[in-house]
Structure 1
Amino acid sequence: MAVQAAAPAVLAQSNPAKPTREAPTKPPSEKPADPARVDLAFGAYQRGLYLVAFNEATKRIEADGSDAAAMTLLGELYNQGLGVRQDPVEAARWYRLAAERGDPHAMASLGLMSADGRGVKKDPAAARAWFEKAAGLGEATAAYNLALLLLAGGAEADIAAAARLLRVAAEAELGDAQHDLGVLYARGKGVPKNPEEAAKLYIRAAKNGSIAGEVELAIALFNGEGIAKNEAQAARLFRRAAIRGNAIAQNRLARIYATGRGVPRNLIEAAAWHLLASGQGLPDSWLDGVLKDMPEQDRKRAEQLATERAAVL
């Protein structure tokens, strides 16, 4: 997501540690009817023993045809291709069976698949309906995804509703939701303008792995907006996000190297990061002007650094 945008362009995978389209790092939470039962299926999933998880979940469903949590786990295994051949259609089938039995994580996953047209027919209305059902049951990533749909509409009432949903997801420690809610507080959209609250949310987002949150925090620190101004700390955060491939961070890092704010002035570093950001579609005419008279030897060194970094980003 662009730092200046009010909402990221992608929906969040149901119940991941970090809301992205990538495979989740932990399974959907489960509340078995019999707490005394040893949870072999989910324990195996957490240890990366996916075939064991598949077999144990299958046994559970054979023993109890209403075991929604085990159905959701099978859906996740088929969805991600973990221990079994990846099969979005089969994943959607298991998610639907679980959703019909009230599992909010399965509902959230069906919403995402409906939005993408993956395993099921692409159907934005169905996606929204599934997100609404799951969010109504307190599913955090469904609340986040529903907020993104509302933000895309842009109506004032929708933005206010999105802010409430983002709060639910933020309290569940979804880093991207914390970032997005922080942006709303910074701009006074859907919530009262509050730079201090925005900065607090950026801090939490960064701790929860949101690169966008880390970049916003760096910007707030650099400008002293809602938090004590600290250009050196901002530079460290920009560099960390830049190394992780964030084009905005690369651009901002190039600018502070060019001006010597927060770091010693270094035009070679400025040019190297500028090349990386430009290569990702983020040009900067101001930097072009600052760097146009660099000695040829320095320019070649910057190009070499950019090439080396691009190979590992």
Structure 2
Amino acid sequence: MRAIALVLAMFCAMGAPAFAQDVRDLAEARAAFERFDYSEAYARYTSLVSSPAGPEALYHLSIIYEGGYGVVPTDEAMALEMLQSAADAEYPAALTRLGMRHYEGNGFPQSHQEGLRLWRRASELGEVGATYSIGMYYLYIHGAERDVAEGARWMRRAADAGHADAQFDLAGLYERGEGVDANAGEAFALMRLAALQGHRSARVSMVQYYFDGTGVARDFVRAEMWALLVERDGEPVAPRGRAVLHAQMTAAQQSEAARLADQCAASSERC
């Protein structure tokens, strides 16, 4: 691991925290990465490799080396070395990403068990994406290890931590009674949480929930409100479905649905 290992050895010896909130460059590096300005992110994260934020810097640099993004030549070996170093320092996102590589056999011999081990450690450190991955593993892996009830338990943990995909998937489990007792009210509550976070499939489901009265009182105005929000997301509800919905509504109700959609778009607290 050469220089990377030396840097991390120094980091561990200092007992420095995993995140240096008072380092301005770290906030700027994060912001650059989030806006896909990989050139600036690369420069700023490179300057942070020897700082207490080193594991986070190595994690993001590994992504840049993996993709290149016009900043550096693609270098899979360097990307993997940096990712492994960040995971060795127990940076949660790195553990999660490394777990997926082991799970898929990407850069390593495929090992579901090693992937699961890394995800469990990341989950222990608070990485909700890893918690979700464990839930998906138990829900959808084929063979003797598949355990829908265990998958539902992990999905509950991720959903309670605010993970929108977990909320959506757990809502489906409650709707179908898979791994949990069927509960339409709980399905609706979880689906709504995901929809409020902008989860497109959850928003489409809200149209159907309100139209059918699944877990909530039937409400054509609310169904139309969610249909309008889905359309604004660029994913129109099927024309035939909209026609059926509109056939149940007065012009005043459609106008009210539009008002509610504007209100919801301005603030999810008002949905």
TM-score, length of structure 1 as denominator length:
0.65
Q: Which residue of 1 aligns with 2:244?
A: 290
Does residue 123 in structure 1 map to residue 123 in structure 2? no
Residue 100 of structure 2 is aligned to residue 145 of structure 1: no
8 Å Cα contact 2:18/2:91 also seen in 1 = no
1:304 is paired with a residue of what secondary structure?
Answer: helix
| Map of 1:211 onto structure 2 | 164
Which of 107, 119, 130 lines up with 1:166 in the alignment?
119
Give the Cα separation in 2 of the matches to 1:196 and 1:172: 23
Percent same amino acid at aligned positions? Answer: 25
* Structure 2 residue 68 is the aligned partner of structure 1 residue 114: no
What CA RMSD, in Å, does the superposition of the two structures yield over aligned residues? 3.6
Q: Measure how far apart 1:164 and its partner are.
A: 4.0
The answer to whether residue 137 in structure 2 is matched with residue 187 in structure 1 is no
**Structure 1 letter corresponding to 2:266:** A
Question: In the alignment, residue 251 of structure 2 is paired with which amino acid?
Answer: E
Aligned mates of 1:190, 1:111 — CA distance in 2? 33
Question: 2:145, 2:29 → 1: CA distance?
Answer: 40
Tell me if the contact between 2:42 and 2:64 (Cα under 8 Å) persists in the aligned partners.
no
Give 3-state SS (helix, strand or coil) of 1:193's partner.
Answer: coil
- The verdict on how the C-alpha distance between 1:303 and 1:128 changes in structure 2, with shifts beyond 3 A counting, is farther
Q: Which residue of 2 aligns with 1:227?
A: 180
Task: Please show how residues 66-77 of structure 1 align to structure 2 within 5 Å.
Answer: 76-77=26-27
Aligned AA for 1:134?
A
Taking a change above 3 Å as real, the CA distance of residues 153 and 269 of structure 1, as seen in their structure-2 partners, is farther
Structure number with the higher helix fraction is 2
1:17 paired residue number: none
**Any conservation in 1 of the 2:195–2:206 contact (CA below 8 Å)?**
yes
Hey, what's the Cα distance between the residues in 1 that align with 2:165 and 2:243? 27
The answer to whether the 8 A contact 2:45-2:58 is kept is: no
Equivalent residue letter for 1:106 = A
Partner Cα distance (1:45, 1:96) in 2: 12
Distance in 2 of aligned mates of 1:189 and 1:174 = 25
Deviation at 1:284, TM superposition (A): 3.8
Moved more, 207-216 or 292-301: 292-301
**CA, structure 1 residues 170+89, in 2 after alignment: closer, same or farther (shift >3 Å)?**
closer
5+ residue gaps, structure 1 = 1-29, 55-73
The residue number in structure 2 matching 1:245 is 198
Contact preservation (8 Å) 2:230, 2:236? yes
Aligned residues: 247
With the length of structure 2 as denominator, give the TM-score of the two structures.
0.74
Amino acid at match of 1:227: V
